[in-house]
């Protein structure tokens, strides 16, 4: 039976970069004779405009039935005045929650050809290949109680709750170990166990999960040290696994090691490996319709989709090799320092498809 992908282009540059991604997917389907089909659905601001909801029921239904979801980006200044619960970004949060996408994979890979584009010294980042796995549906962003209250003395107090159950820790731990098995077999768990009780439990559960993966080496690091090590010696890491909030911060720092936001893919997986794949950047309203958007983060997200949800590792590798080859050929979009001769969005997509 063929595998089904739901494509959600979204807003801003979303449709432009997703179009290039589909070009590449079409090519790879043909080359590897993959039994894949896809269908486009509404999501984000465009869905709000047409249906009054950022995540229409029909789209959610299609996503539930799909094997994987390819997502562009949502949002834009025209929606800033919409009611908070109807803003495009809320649709994405709802989709992640509805589908139980608890494991967020954020690779930070620096193609050696782009070492000069990083703000760090080339020798520190050249050849960088780390995977940050962030817990996505729990922790302090979801914990209850939360709020702002007024105390009897009239002063206000803001509070949130950082909580993780053993099962939540165990499933993100397993996700990290499974991925480490496909890589260099090293997991570094980042916590704050010297200060926070939940972190003690986190460490304990990670240690017990590790017993099922004797080939993988588990280490622990406090989050403050991890932030420092990421900019000091990032190549020491293979897989980093951490909580929702720590992962939010560390993965953005790691993203900058690689030079441009336009290069970074991501995956959000459920317990069965079904996933939503998206570039980490937003809808970039400042460059919409100008051919300036770098489609490589979306194209690399498709490689992740083939690897983690569709079981087509060879097709994934061939996309990654094709991206490397177009960089070798000198193709650069404006964000990669292409200057006057910068490749336009569609030229970059065409070049990757041709390299396949
Ligand atoms: P952004 O990521 O859209 O843009 C930040 C900067 O990076 C901009 O200068 C943009 O031009 C540039 N940029 C982003 N992607 C690029 C690409 N592929 N190629 C070249 N340059 C690129 O972040 P923002 O400006 O803070 O947010 C814009 C909108 O996107 C907001 O409405 C925000 O809420 C939304 N957003 C959506 C997502 C998502 O859909 N997952 C993520 C982040 C932000």
- 94-113 pLDDT, tens per residue? 999 899 999 999 999 998 88
CA-based nearest residue to 356, from 25, 36, 107:
25
Q: Which residue's alpha carbon is nearest to atom 23 within ligand 1?
A: 282
Catalytic residue among 23, 27, 53, 192: 192
Res 154: pLDDT: 98
Residue 109 DSSP code: E
Nearest atom in ligand 1 to 44's CA: 40
What digits encode the pLDDT tens for the residues 270-301?
988 899 999 999 999 999 999 999 999 999 99
Does residue 224 carry a catalytic annotation? yes
Q: Which residue's CA is minimally distant from atom 36 of ligand 1?
A: 282
Give residues with Cβ within 8 angstroms of 168, minimum separation 6. 102, 135, 138
Average pLDDT over every residue of 74-87? 92
Average pLDDT estimate for 111-116: 86
* Number of other CB atoms surrounding residue 122 within 10 Å: 14
pLDDT in tens, 321-342: 999 999 999 999 999 888 888 9
The alpha carbon dihedral of 98, 297, 300, 40 has a sign of: positive
What residues contact residue 269 under an 8 Å CB cut-off, 6+ apart?
A: 101, 102, 103, 105, 175, 275, 308, 309
Model pLDDT, residue 185: 98
**What residues contact 335, with CB distance under 8 A and at least 6 apart?**
260, 261, 262, 292, 294
- Report the SS3 class of residue 295: coil
Single out the catalytic residue among 61, 224, 286, 328.
224
Q: Which of 303, 301, 309 is nearest to 269 (CA)?
A: 309
Ligand 1 shell residues, CB under 6 Å: 17, 73-76, 89, 92, 261-262, 278, 281-287, 293-294, 297, 335
Inform me whether the pLDDT recorded for 84 exceeds 90.
Answer: no
Residue to mutate (ligand 1; options 265, 282, 344; most atoms within 8 A of CB): 282
Q: Is 270 a catalytic residue?
A: no
The residue-averaged pLDDT of 242-247 equals: 96
Query: What are the structure tokens assigned to 151, written together?
Result: 């105390």
Look at residue 284 in the predicted model and tell me its pLDDT: 96
pLDDT confidence of 59, banded at 50, 70, 90?
Answer: very high
Index of the ligand 1 atom closest to the CA of residue 281: 2
Q: Is residue 133 predicted with pLDDT exceeding 80?
A: yes
pLDDT of residue 51: 96
Candidates 257, 199, 207; CA nearest to 223 is 199
Instruction: Find the 12 Cα to ligand 1 centroid distance in Å.
Output: 9
Evaluate if residue 259 carries a pLDDT over 80.
no
Residue 320 DSSP symbol: H
Q: Give percent of the chain with pLDDT exceeding 70.
A: 100
Find the mean pLDDT for residues 162-181.
96
Cα separations in angstroms, 319 against 25, 41, 335: 9, 25, 21
Centre of ligand 1 to C-alpha 181, Å, is: 33
- Which structural domains are found in the chain, ordered by start? 1-103+260-356 (3.40.718.10), 129-257 (3.40.718.10)
Residue 141: active-site member:
yes
């Amino acid at each position: 039976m063929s595998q089904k992908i739901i494509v959600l282009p979204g807003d801003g540059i979303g449709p432009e970069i997703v179009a290039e991604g589909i070009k590449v997917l079409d090519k790879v389907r043909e080359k590897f004779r993959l039994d894949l089909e896809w269908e486009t659905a509404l999501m984000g601001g465009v869905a709000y405009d047409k249906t009054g909801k950022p995540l229409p029921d029909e789209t959610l239904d299609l996503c539930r039935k799909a094997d994987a979801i390819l997502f562009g980006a949502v949002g834009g200044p025209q929606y800033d005045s919409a009611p908070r619960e109807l803003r495009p970004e809320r649709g994405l949060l709802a989709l992640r929650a509805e589908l139980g996408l608890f494991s967020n994979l954020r690779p930070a890979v620096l193609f050696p050809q782009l070492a000069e584009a990083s703000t760090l010294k080339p020798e520190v980042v050249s050849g960088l290949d780390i995977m940050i796995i962030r817990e996505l549906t729990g922790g302090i962003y979801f914990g209850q109680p939360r709020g702002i209250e007024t105390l009897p003395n009239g002063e206000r107090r803001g509070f949130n709750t950082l909580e993780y159950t053993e099962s939540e820790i165990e499933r993100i731990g397993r996700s990290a170990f499974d991925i480490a098995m496909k890589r260099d077999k090293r997991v570094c768990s980042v916590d704050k166990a010297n200060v926070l009780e939940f972190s003690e439990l986190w460490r304990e559960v990670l240690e017990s999960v590790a017993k099922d993966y004797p080939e993988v080496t588990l280490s622990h690091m406090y989050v403050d040290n991890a932030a420092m090590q990421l900019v000091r010696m990032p190549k020491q890491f293979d897989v980093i696994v951490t909580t929702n909030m720590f992962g939010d911060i560390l993965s953005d720092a790691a993203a900058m090691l690689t030079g441009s936001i336009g290069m970074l893919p991501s995956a959000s997986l459920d317990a069965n490996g079904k996933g939503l794949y998206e570039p980490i950047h937003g809808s970039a309203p400042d460059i919409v319709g100008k051919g300036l958007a770098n489609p490589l983060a979306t194209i690399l997200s498709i490689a992740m989709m083939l690897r983690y949800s569709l079981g087509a590792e060879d097709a994934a590798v061939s996309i990654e090799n094709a991206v490397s080859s177009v960089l070798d050929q000198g193709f650069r979009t404006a964000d990669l320092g292409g200057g006057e001769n910068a490749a336009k969005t569609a030229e970059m997509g065409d070049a990757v498809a041709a390299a396949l």
